[in-house]
Amino acid sequence: MELEDKVAVVTGAGQGIGRATALHLAEAGARVAVADINAAAAEDTSAVIAESGRESLAIQADVGSVAEIDRMIAETKDAFGRIDIIVNNAGVTRFLYVMDVGEDDWDRIHRVNARGVFFCMQRAAREMIDQGEGGRIINIASIAGKGYTGTSNAAYAASKGAVLSMTMIAADQLARHDINVNAICPGVTVTDLSINNMQARAESLGVSITELEQARDARIPIGRANSPDDIAAMARFLSGPGARNITGQAYNVDGGLVMH
């Protein structure tokens, strides 16, 4: 129970990495605000946490909207009295060839993946500063932000590169308040979103999903893709006491695809 008495907010927690992270933090003792644009998905994750005997709150929120971010933070504060941890996980993408990325694709991806992460980070940090007891901010980036070319599209990679830059600058400027800011860079992770992207890629190449999966795993040095729990385990560590002196870092969880 390394997170006993802590309050965490996890965005995009209705499925995939966000859901796994919310469950891991609850298992570690935290009270968790489960935020997702899909209200039913948020309620489902929250219900699983409640069944384990931990406190949870489901919040429907679109993190591309600053007004909804403000509401998400306010509802968490009203319910639990404080915020100690935020995991900025919500993100969007789809498989696109570089010449097919349009303005709408760029704006949609950056609205959530970059703008949303920044204002979630800023708003949570404001609460942490007011509390005067430090805090943890964990941004879910991607190895795409470090130049991995097997990404879904160039706009997505650019948005995740922005997350890495914001993480380092925020870590430096928030350190005086004892707020640690780190990023996690997942590699290939099996989620509904990644499966949809793989299906689109398979169709564009005229191959089967099985062939793509085999080729994918062959490129990963450790020989397997991530499960959402692999990312959640790192988020749990970075939220806990063992990471108290770690800040401004971007950790790859990718089976060795990108080794820096």
DSSP 103: H
Average pLDDT over residues 56-81: 98
The percentage of residues in the chain with a pLDDT greater than 90, rounded to a whole number, is 87
7 and 80 Cβ atoms separated by less than 8 Å: yes
Q: Where are the alpha helices (DSSP H) in 83-191?
A: 103-110, 117-131, 154-174
Average pLDDT over residues 14-37: 98
Sorting pLDDT into bands at 50, 70 and 90, what band is 19?
very high
Sorting pLDDT into bands at 50, 70 and 90, what band is 201?
confident
Around Cβ 41, how many Cβ atoms within 10 Å?
20
For residues 207, 211, 212, 217, the Cα torsion angle rounded to the nearest 10 degrees is -170
In terms of Cα–Cα distance, which of 45, 59, 74, 56 is closest to 8? 56
Residue 46: per-residue pLDDT: 98
Average pLDDT over residues 45-73: 98
Dihedral class, residue 5 (left if φ above 0, else alpha if ψ from -120 to 50, else beta): left
Residue 191: per-residue pLDDT: 85
Sorting pLDDT into bands at 50, 70 and 90, what band is 170?
very high
In terms of Cα–Cα distance, which of 154, 129, 134, 131 is closest to 144? 154
d(CA 178, CA 181): 10
Residue 175: per-residue pLDDT: 98
97 is catalytic: no
pLDDT in tens, 92-130: 999 899 999 999 999 999 999 999 999 999 999 999 999
What are the chain's domains?
Answer: 7-187+231-243 (3.40.50.720)
Backbone angles phi, psi at 46, to 5 degrees: -60, -40
d(CA 229, CA 198): 20
pLDDT at 138 over 80: yes
Joined tokens for residue 210: 């099985």
DSSP 241: G
Residue 203: per-residue pLDDT: 83
Q: Active site residue: 97, 148, 156, 251, which one? A: 156
Q: Across the strands, what pairs with 200?
A: none
d(CA 182, CA 170): 9
Average pLDDT over residues 37-46: 98
Sorting pLDDT into bands at 50, 70 and 90, what band is 216?
confident
Residue 211: per-residue pLDDT: 86
pLDDT at 169 over 90: yes
